[in-house]
Structure 1
Amino acid sequence: MGYENLCQWHPQLGAVAQLVTYQDYDFRKRYQESCRVKLSQASLCCCTAQISDYRLFYKMSNSHPLRPFTSVGEIDHVHILSEHIGALLIGEEYGDVTFVVEKKRFPAHRVILAARCQYFRALLYGGMRESQPEAEIPLQDTTAEAFTMLLKYIYTGRATLTDEKEEVLLDFLSLAHKYGFPELEDSTSEYLCTILNIQNVCMTFDVASLYSLPKLTCMCCMFMDRNAQEVLSSEGFLSLSKTALLNIVLRDSFAAPEKDIFLALLNWCKHNSKENHVEIMQAVRLPLMSLTELLNVVRPSGLLSPDAILDAIKVRSESRDMDLNYRGMLIPEENIATMKYGAQVVKGELKSALLDGDTQNYDLDHGFSRHPIDDDCRSGIEIKLGQPSIINHIRILLWDRDSRSYSYFIEVSMDELDWIRVIDHSQYLCRSWQKLYFPARVCSSIDHIALMLLSLQDEYILELTNPFEKKNVFVTLPALIWPTGGLGRLSCNSKSGT
């Protein structure tokens, strides 16, 4: 009994069978759902046996473009509708409005534009001059390529981004924002996040800042933070708007040498001579520059007054090193005390065990780092980070295979001469995992020193990690800080953890 006989055996079953995939012959369920008639077990087995020659027929019918897989009683021909409406763009048939972009004419249909976009609804049916029959509407703030892409999206719901230049994509993003297509704006922003490079990140950041696109703005900031020196020397940096420029260089996480930042801003001022140079140069952190750089690089430029240079020298000479407003790399939610980021243990015993990431396999003979505990607190375990970094969270695994407890403090430094204490647990007995939070700081070295140990004269540390985390609020008690609330969204602001 073939497929035809199967349909004759039960007329309604033929309709059900057309919707069954090769791997699923559960006719009872499908039959009951569609026909509301109970199918016996014997009939089910019979149907399963007779459907074997239907597989090829179903494969051929299912590949037909007019028959997408749908549930019983539903028809989905949206792709046909999209193709037919999109075909109206090819010719000028039935068009009743024309847009002119860069001297190129774009015939369109008022009712379609009005149905898809509130902006065009107000423009074409709001009683203004553009609402007159057969009106021609010039558009001055876009390109023909971007407007072609927008019309295609309006008529078909589709847009191809992969073959377009970055400039066209940014114009397309601007149109999506202007005409109120939030889904298109989000999708275009997500694609731009995947193609960021040194050449396009500055102009992408400029547009993202202008239209307040938080995700794209944050991705641009993260990319520029990790490629700061290359961004400063790129051509796109000279084309940044004043607002976007200041948003970049004022951030603590834009961790380029201050001399390079000054020279890049100097070039920007020459390229944008009409802008206020005083406000731009105030973004330079002069106290971070050496005396030689201030006298031989900054002073000859003539853009900063002698008093400003003298004030920077005064701050540099009179302030603690850790009180200077340093820049540092910001890598949120990731451990930077690893060999991957160039960290190394410069003081302590069994140095290689501390950064290997193994917190499960350890005993008294291996798998940990340690240091002797002395009265003058000079011994400790010091980690040198690969580069100056912004941190606000440290996790330490202290020895926890017996009942020992530790008292300790942690200090951070930029020059290994001036140390500032960020954690002080000298009055507490601690063991096992230590999750430590403190206001965000830039540092290049971390020093952990134990003051007291119950039973033995060595302190054992199995892991030390320091990712940057954002918490909502810090609650402070004497010598203790912890975050309240859950983890928040990541922010490009390097001080967001404070």
Structure 2
Amino acid sequence: MAGPPQPACLWGNLASFAADMRKMINAPELSDVKFIVGKERRVVYAHRCILAYRCEAFNAMFAQQPLSCDAKDVDIPFVLSDVQPDIFLAVIEFLYTNCVMLSSKMALDVLTSAVEYGLDDLQKLCVDYISSTLTVESACEALQAAVTYRQTDMKDKCLAFIQSHTKSIVKTQGFHELSDPALLVILQSDLLTIDEPDLINFVREWAHVNSVDKIAEVWKFHALKKPSGIAIHLLRRRKGTRPRDHHKYLNLYHK
């Protein structure tokens, strides 16, 4: 004889639930915590229980200022001067609804906040959005973020985009503002679609902008006559480099 039916978890309308939760974002009614955000000192209202259970960073923040029965304590705000209000509200939106509205202008900043607050799911949403909306102007800034926050998948997608659009990307402000480690990621690629002498000139411009006097540390010219002790990838002619007579000195196997 069959036993009793097993319990089942049934889901209601998730979109409707998220819409109802969104109504609570920055709503003064029934809120028990407020933040003073950004240089604009914008007031943002929230609910401790939601933030604390959804985010360990907020839980630790509230533990330093426990909520008492005194109504005056509710009016003591947390001051967050280093984050823009719109970015902070995007984080709050995710904590309340598990979704977030992103744009190309704010996605990198939201990713930064997601890293700071330890929100792995929000990081993934930001990485997916940034990786799928790369442009010539944004690619280097995105690569810089990927290197800084150790986002391997995002780094690989940024590099693939840069490889396909090298000639345009090396002219952007983002390229000139790359850090040493981020630039090294690009220079290690053999698939850059740009002629080698042109790339050297743009790297020189980068060095001038960044006042870097150790350009040799991030740049190795590929046409070396003595391969002994040299990393293999330095002996290959890049994809975009036009053939030249001195390439005969490269290891023939790697031509």
For normalisation by structure 1, the TM-score amounts to 0.43
Q: How far apart, in 1, do the equivalents of 2:168 and 2:236 lie?
A: 20
Contact 1:100-1:137 within 8 A present in 2 as well: yes
Aligned-partner residue type, residue 208 of structure 2: K
Contiguous gaps of at least 5 residues in structure 2? none
- C-alpha change, 1:240 and 1:155, in structure 2 (3 Å) is same
Q: How far apart, in 1, do the equivalents of 2:87 and 2:95 lie?
A: 12
Query: Which of 216, 220, 226 lines up with 1:285 in the alignment?
Result: 220
Q: How far apart, in 2, do the equivalents of 1:187 and 1:207 lie?
A: 15
Task: Provide the alpha-carbon RMSD of the alignment.
Answer: 3.3
Contiguous gaps of at least 5 residues in structure 1? 1-35, 37-71, 289-314, 330-386, 390-412, 423-440, 444-498
- C-alpha change, 1:251 and 1:284, in structure 2 (3 Å) is same
Q: How far apart, in 2, do the equivalents of 1:417 and 1:266 lie?
A: 26
Where does residue 23 of structure 2 map in the other structure? 87
Query: Which of 185, 198, 202 lines up with 2:123 in the alignment?
Result: 185
The structure showing larger relative contact order (alpha-carbon pairs under 8 Å, at least 6 residues apart) is 2
How far 1:264 moved relative to its partner? Answer: 1.8
Contact 2:107-2:129 within 8 A present in 1 as well: no
Where does residue 133 of structure 2 map in the other structure? 195
Structure 1 segment 10-89 matched on structure 2, within 5 A: 74=10, 76-89=12-25
Query: Which of 148, 151, 159 lines up with 2:89 in the alignment?
Result: 148
What whole-Å deviation, never above 9, does each CA across 1:401-448 have from its counterpart, x for those lacking one? xxxxxxxxxxxx9869679675xxxxxxxxxxxxxxxxxx3x3xxxxx
Aligned-partner residue type, residue 147 of structure 1: F
How many residues align structurally?
238
Contact 2:170-2:202 within 8 A present in 1 as well: yes
For the residue of structure 1 that corresponds to 2:114, the secondary structure is helix
Structure richer in helix, relative to its length? 2
Q: How far apart, in 2, do the equivalents of 1:82 and 1:73 lie?
A: 18
- C-alpha change, 1:110 and 1:327, in structure 2 (3 Å) is farther
For the residue of structure 2 that corresponds to 1:105, the secondary structure is strand
For normalisation by structure 2, the TM-score amounts to 0.79
How far 1:277 moved relative to its partner? Answer: 2.0
Where does residue 35 of structure 2 map in the other structure? 99
Structure 1 segment 87-486 matched on structure 2, within 5 A: 87-102=23-38, 103-124=41-62, 126=63, 128-129=64-65, 133-134=73-74, 135-161=76-102, 164=103, 166-254=104-192, 256-273=194-211, 276-278=212-214, 280-286=215-221, 288=223, 315-316=224-225, 325-329=235-239, 441=254, 443=255
Q: How far apart, in 2, do the equivalents of 1:183 and 1:287 lie?
A: 41
For the residue of structure 2 that corresponds to 1:277, the secondary structure is coil
Contact 2:196-2:241 within 8 A present in 1 as well: no
Contact 2:93-2:99 within 8 A present in 1 as well: yes
Structure richer in strand, relative to its length? 1
Larger Rg: 1
- C-alpha change, 1:195 and 1:81, in structure 2 (3 Å) is closer
How far 1:199 moved relative to its partner? Answer: 0.2
How far 1:222 moved relative to its partner? Answer: 0.8
Contact 2:235-2:251 within 8 A present in 1 as well: no
What whole-Å deviation, never above 9, does each CA across 1:104-123 have from its counterpart, x for those lacking one? 11111111101111111111
Q: How far apart, in 2, do the equivalents of 1:144 and 1:218 lie?
A: 31
For the residue of structure 1 that corresponds to 2:106, the secondary structure is helix
How far 1:231 moved relative to its partner? Answer: 1.5
Contact 1:206-1:241 within 8 A present in 2 as well: yes
Q: Percent identity?
A: 22
Aligned-partner residue type, residue 258 of structure 1: E
Contact 1:232-1:260 within 8 A present in 2 as well: no
